[in-house]
Structure 1
C-alpha cells in the first residue's frame, strides 16, 4: 500500500473471475501515481487515493481492465464485485526491483521476470529452490558434505547473484547463497528476477543479476486472517509419516489489522529425514535437516508516512551420520547448526505527489556451528577431540539505505540514494576479526526522450575501507517501443564486486574440503551488455501469445575463483582469474488460450574457456563451451470444479569444461545433461480449504555422470548429486479471514 496526501478517499471492493471465484493477488493501481493495492486471499482490496475522478487499473495473471471511480476526501467508496475476463492479456504486472517507482512490467526499462504467490502455491513448493529450479538460465549445485546448495544465473555462480529480501541484501558466509534455503516460502508474495548487472542500484554481488523476494503485506482495512499448511512428501521411496524419513512441512500464520496498525507472524517447520541412496549403515547420501523459520512483522501507516519492523529467524540443523568403525565400534557424527537473526526497519514519507523518501535499516547476526561427537556401541555420546572438530563462524552485517525520489514531470524523474554497509566476522577459522565498510551514493534518472523512448542512465560513487574501488560505476538502460506490440530493451553496466570476508580470511579443512583464504585478492570488475525484444505476436479474443528474445555478453576481469595455490600445490585457495566471459541467448514464449496458460522457452549459454588464450602451451581450443536448456510450464484450470493441473518440465544440457590437473595437459570434461519434471494437482474444497498433491522429479534423477578429474576445493570430481529421486507429496492449506 502506498499513501498519498491528507485530503484523500478510499475505494474498496472484491475481484473475482468470470465464475465468481475470489481472485487473490490481483493488482489494483491508479495509473501515473504510486497508489496501489493487492487483493487478499478472498479477493478483497482497499485502496487509498486523492479525491476526484480516478481510473483504477486492475490486473491479474493474464487479465486486465480499467474502471472509472470518483473518490471523496474522507469517505470510502464501496464497489460491487468486479469480474475479470481471463481471455484478455496485458503486461500489467507491477514491478519494483530496480525501478525509480512501482510501475507496470511493460513500462519498465529492465527485463524483469516475476513469479507470483499463486504460482508458488500451485507448485507445492516448500523452498525457493523448488520454485527457481525450472526457470531459464538458473541452475543449482549441491554440496552434500555441508548440506548446502548454490545458485547459478546466466552462467555466473552464486557470489555474483544478489539475493534481496524486500530489497535488503541477505548475508551469507561467502560465495554459496545459503540464504535462498532460509526464507519462509509461505510468506512470499512474489519473486522478481532481474537479469544482468545491477551494481549501480544494488552494489556489490549484483554482477549477474538480482533475485528480490517480496513478502506479503497487509491490504488495508480491519481484518483477522489465520492460515495453516501441512504437507507430507516422500524422499524417493523412503517415507515415515510425520516423523522420520521423508519431508514434513508445517506452517501457522496470523495477520491482524485494526485501522492504522498491523501485526503479523509465521512459524514454519521443515523436517527432512535424509535419503540413504547408495550409502550403507547409518550414513546417508543426503543428510537429514531440521529447520525452524520464524517471522514477525509490525506496521503502522499514516496519511503521509508508514513505518514497519520485520524479523526473520532461522534455526537449522543438518546432521552428518557416520558409520561405526569396525574395530572401535565408534561412529563419528557432525551437526551443522545455523542461526540467522535478520532484523529490518523500513519507512516511507510522501511529502507530496512528486516527492517521497524511503529509509531502510537492517542488522543480520549469522552464525554457523560445527559440533562433532562420537557415539559408542552403548549409545553414549562424547565430544570429539580431533583438531577443528568444534568450530563456530560468526558473520554480522549492518546495512542502511536512504533514497529520495522526485518526479519533475511525466517525462523526467530522479532517484538518488545512499548505501552504507558494515560487515564483520570472527571464529576459530577466521584470521583475526576483520571488518569491511562500504559507502556509496547512486543517481538514477529516468528520461522519456519522446513518446515510446525511455532511458535510465545511472552512476554509483564508491568508497571501500579495504579496496581502492572504482570512483564511479556507470550504467544505462533503455526501452524503445517499436510498435504497440513490440518493445526493445537494452542495457550496459559496469560491475564491481569486492572480495567477501570468507574469500579473504576463512580457512577450511576437513575430509572433503581444503581451502585457504587469500588476503591479496583484488576486486572484480566487469563490462556487461544485454538486450531483449518482446513481441505480443497474437492478440485475439481467445488466444494471446508473447515472445521474448534476449541476448547477453559479459566480460569479467580479476574474477575470483578457487584454484591450486601456486606456492603450495597441496592446497587450494582463492585466486583472481585474469579474464572470464559469458554470453548467451534466451527465447521465452507465453501462450494464454481459454483455460490454459503455457510457456515454452530455451537458452543457449556459453562460458569462457581460459585455455583458449594459450594455443602454443595448451593447444587449439574453442573460446566458449556451450550448454543448452529447454523449459515448459503448462497450467490448466477446470473452473467448474475449482481444480488446476500443472506440468513443469526442464531439460538442462550437458555442462562441458576444459580442465587441467597438472597445468600442462588439458582435456574436456562433461557433466551429463538431465530432465526434470513435476506434476501437481490442486483442488479447492471450500472457501477456506485447498488440497494439493502430485509427483516431483518424474524422471527419477539422482546423480549425474561427471568425467571431471579435478576434485578441487569442494570435491567436485565424480558423480554430481542433483536430487533424491522421484517423490510424491500431498498437502492441505487452510485460510480463514474475517473483516
Structure 2
C-alpha cells in the first residue's frame, strides 16, 4: 500500500445478514471490489478524502452516499433493502409524484430492467409480459396493432409520453415504436377509466412512458441485438450539457428487417419487413429559480411492407402482385414549464403530426392526424386537503381519402377543439385513510357537455397492507383512423350506420396490496384487484352482420367487463426474483336481451418474468412468458373452415446475460421456445391468399359471396383473422455498453 493511502472495508448486508458478491464502488478514484462470503469488500490504496460510495446487489435497492476516508481503520456498513415495484414513485394516477404505496389510485410500475429480460425492438412488443396487457396484432400482412387492457380493444387505451397524450388506437404501434429503451425511466400502467384526469380515450386504461431526467441519465449507452430471422435493432443514448443552460438527452433507435420469410406456405410474408429510424431529444433547462422547464421532440420514419413474396416496390398500388406498403412520418413535441407566479403552477403541452401514405393492394389510404394538447394545473394544499385544479384544451384534426371525411370530390376534414376543466381533492382522514374526489367537464360541439366524476378511497390497514376502492367514469369519441386496420385494407367496406354518440363507462375497482418480509430475508408482494365496468353507447365494429362489411354503430344496449387479477412480486435472498400475474375476465355485450362475446377478447391471461443471478460467474438468467386463453375470431361466414376460437397458447423466452466486463453486457437467448404459431391447427390464416384481388369471387344479386368449385367456402380475401405473431422459435444475441 502506498504512503498516505488507506484500505476501505465495506460490509454489505440486509435485514438478515451479510450479502456476498455485492458490487462496491468508489466513484471518484474509480475503484471497487466485490464483497466476499462474509459480505465485506476491501478496496486498497484509497487516498484520504471524501468519496461517493455506490453499492448494488441484484434484487435490492442500490445505495449511494458520501464517506470520508481518514487515517487508521475505515470500516463502513451498508444495509440494503429489497427492490420492488411497490416502492416506486408514480404520477399517472393523480398527476402528482407520490410513492406507489401512498397513492389512492392503483398504478403498476415497470422499469427498463424488467423489459431487458426479453429484449424487443419496441415497447409495443415489450408489453407482452405485463399482466392484463396484450399487444394485439390486427393484420396478418402489415402487422400493425394496438394495446388491449383487461380484454378491451385498443381504442380504449390511452398512451402518454411523460404524461402527454400522444397516441391511441392504430397509431399506438407507431407511438410505442422507436423509443430507445435507454431513455425510458419507467412505464406506468393504470387499468380502468381515467377520463376525469386525462379526458377522451382513457376509457379502459392508460400507459404512461416516463423518460429519464436528462441530468441523471447515463453519459452514453449502446444496446443492439440481432436475431436469426435477420432483425437488427440498435439503441443509442447520449447525455450532454450546455453549461448553465441545459442538460440535453439524445436517443436514436434504428430497426431493420428485410429478409422475407414464408414458413406457413401461403406465399405471404410471415413478418412485415420494416425499416425504421427514430430520433428523440430532451432538453432540461436550468432556470435560476430552479423551476422546471423541459422540452422534448421526436421524429419517426418507417417504411414497412408485407404481402406476396414476389412483391417489390414497383408493384405498389397495382393489382398484379398484392402488397401492403405503409410510409409513416411522425413528429412529436412535448414540454413542461413551471410558471413563476405561484408554486405548483405547471403548464404542459404536446403536439403530434402523423402522416400515413399507404396502399393495401390497389386501395390507397392517405391519412393525416394532428393532435394538439395543452394543460395548466395548479397543485396546492390547504390543511388536510391536497388540491389539484386544471384546465385543458385538445385540438384534433383528421383527414383522409375515404368516406370518413367526405364523399366523392368533397373533402370534409374532422376538426374539433375540446376544452375541459377538472378538479381533484385528496383528503387525509387521519393517518391511515385518504379520500380522493374529483371530476372533469369537457365540451365537444358535436356531443355537448360531458361530465366524468371519480372517487377513490385508500385505507392503510398497516404499514404492509393497503386497501383501495375506486369508482369513476370515462368517455370516448370514435375516430375511424384509430379504430380498425381492417377498415383500411379494402377487404371490407366501412359502413357508418348512424351519427355516433360518445361512449361512456362506469367503473368500480377494489384493490388490495400486501407486503411480506420473512425472517429469512425473503420478500413477497401481492396485489389483488377486482373490477366491474359498464359501457353505454358502446361503439363496436360489427363483423358478423355482413362478412364483406364493417358496420359502425352505437350498441342498442350495454356492454360489461368484469374480472379479477393477481400480481406477485417475489425477491428471495438466494438471488431469485419473480414477477408474475394472472387475470380472469368476462367481456360481453348485451343487446335486445341477447348476450354475446366480442371478437379477440380472451377470458384469462398469465404472464411471468423470473430472474436468477450466479454472482461468481457474473451470469444472469431470465425466463419470461405469457399464457392466453381462447378468443372468438372473425370468420367470413358459416362455410369458413377456420377455427372460430383461438387455442390456449403460450409464448416463452429465455435469456442469458454476462456482465463480467466493465461497462459491458453480452446477452443472448431464444424467443418462442415452444415454437408456437397461429397457423397450427388451421387450414390457412389469410382467406383466399391465392386470389388477393378477388378476381375469382362470384356474388349473387344481393352482393353476397356464393360458393363455387373454385371458392367452395364462399370467401373473399381477408387478412384480419389474426390473434398472435407468426414468428416461430428464433435465437438472438446482443451487446450493451453503458458509460455512467
TM-score over 0.5 for the pair = yes
Q: Return closer, same or farther for 1:183/1:65 CA change in 2, 3 Å cut-off.
A: closer
Aligned to 2:23: 21
Q: CA deviation at 1:687?
A: 2.6
Aligned to 2:327: 337
Q: CA deviation at 1:271?
A: 1.0
| Corresponding residue to 2:133 among 113, 138, 141 | 138
When Rg is computed on C-alpha atoms for both structures, the one with the higher figure is: 2
Aligned to 2:605: 629
Aligned to 1:113: 108
Q: CA deviation at 1:722?
A: 2.3
| Corresponding residue to 2:455 among 472, 476, 480 | 476
Residues 103-151 of structure 1 deviation map (CA, whole Å, 9 limit, x = unaligned): 1111111111111122223332321133210211122221123330222
Structure 1: runs of 5+ lacking an equivalent = 1-13, 25-57, 71-79, 236-245, 374-385
Q: Distance in 1 between matches of 2:588 and 2:266?
A: 43
Q: Distance in 2 between matches of 1:63 and 1:261?
A: 32
Q: How does 1:541-620 map to 2 (within 5 A)?
A: 541-563=520-542, 570-577=548-555, 578-594=557-573, 595-610=575-590, 613-614=593-594
Q: Is residue 2:424 matched to residue 1:424?
A: no
Q: CA deviation at 1:366?
A: 0.2
Aligned to 2:380: 406
Residues 330-352 of structure 1 deviation map (CA, whole Å, 9 limit, x = unaligned): 64544211100001122224767
Residues 27-73 of structure 1 deviation map (CA, whole Å, 9 limit, x = unaligned): xxxxxxxxxxxxxxxxxxxxxxxxxxxxxxx9998646999999xxx
Aligned to 1:440: 420
Q: CA deviation at 1:490?
A: 1.1
Q: CA deviation at 1:634?
A: 1.1
Q: Distance in 2 between matches of 1:506 and 1:646?
A: 34
Residues 528-582 of structure 1 deviation map (CA, whole Å, 9 limit, x = unaligned): 110111122444341111211110000001111112698x885323111231100
Q: Distance in 1 between matches of 2:685 and 2:142?
A: 21
Q: Is residue 2:259 matched to residue 1:265?
A: no
Q: Distance in 2 between matches of 1:283 and 1:626?
A: 27
Contact in 2 for aligned 1:158/1:175 (Cα 8 Å): no
Q: Return closer, same or farther for 1:516/1:103 CA change in 2, 3 Å cut-off.
A: same
Q: Distance in 2 between matches of 1:509 and 1:486?
A: 49
Q: How does 1:298-447 map to 2 (within 5 A)?
A: 298-302=283-287, 303-322=289-308, 331-349=321-339, 355-370=343-358, 388-389=363-364, 391-409=365-383, 411-429=384-402, 430-431=405-406, 432-447=412-427
Aligned to 1:6: none
Q: Distance in 1 between matches of 2:720 and 2:344?
A: 53
Measured on the aligned residues, the alpha-carbon RMSD in Å equals 4.0
Q: CA deviation at 1:372?
A: 7.8
Aligned to 2:239: 255
Aligned to 2:662: 687
Q: Is residue 2:228 matched to residue 1:234?
A: yes
SS at match of 2:603: strand
Residues 474-494 of structure 1 deviation map (CA, whole Å, 9 limit, x = unaligned): 100121112232110110001
Aligned to 2:275: 290
Contact in 1 for aligned 2:85/2:109 (Cα 8 Å): no
Q: CA deviation at 1:217?
A: 1.5
Q: Return closer, same or farther for 1:334/1:687 CA change in 2, 3 Å cut-off.
A: same
TM-score computed with the length of structure 2 as normaliser: 0.78
Aligned to 2:6: none
Q: CA deviation at 1:447?
A: 0.7
Residues 628-655 of structure 1 deviation map (CA, whole Å, 9 limit, x = unaligned): 2233321112233333111112211222
Contact in 2 for aligned 1:275/1:724 (Cα 8 Å): no
Q: Return closer, same or farther for 1:332/1:534 CA change in 2, 3 Å cut-off.
A: closer
Q: Distance in 1 between matches of 2:426 and 2:106?
A: 15
Q: How does 1:139-288 map to 2 (within 5 A)?
A: 139-142=134-137, 143-172=139-168, 178-219=174-215, 225-235=219-229, 246-257=230-241, 258-273=243-258, 275-278=260-263, 283-288=268-273
Please identify which structure carries the higher strand content: 1
SS at match of 1:496: strand
Structure 2: runs of 5+ lacking an equivalent = 1-9, 14-18, 27-54, 68-74, 312-317, 407-411, 688-714
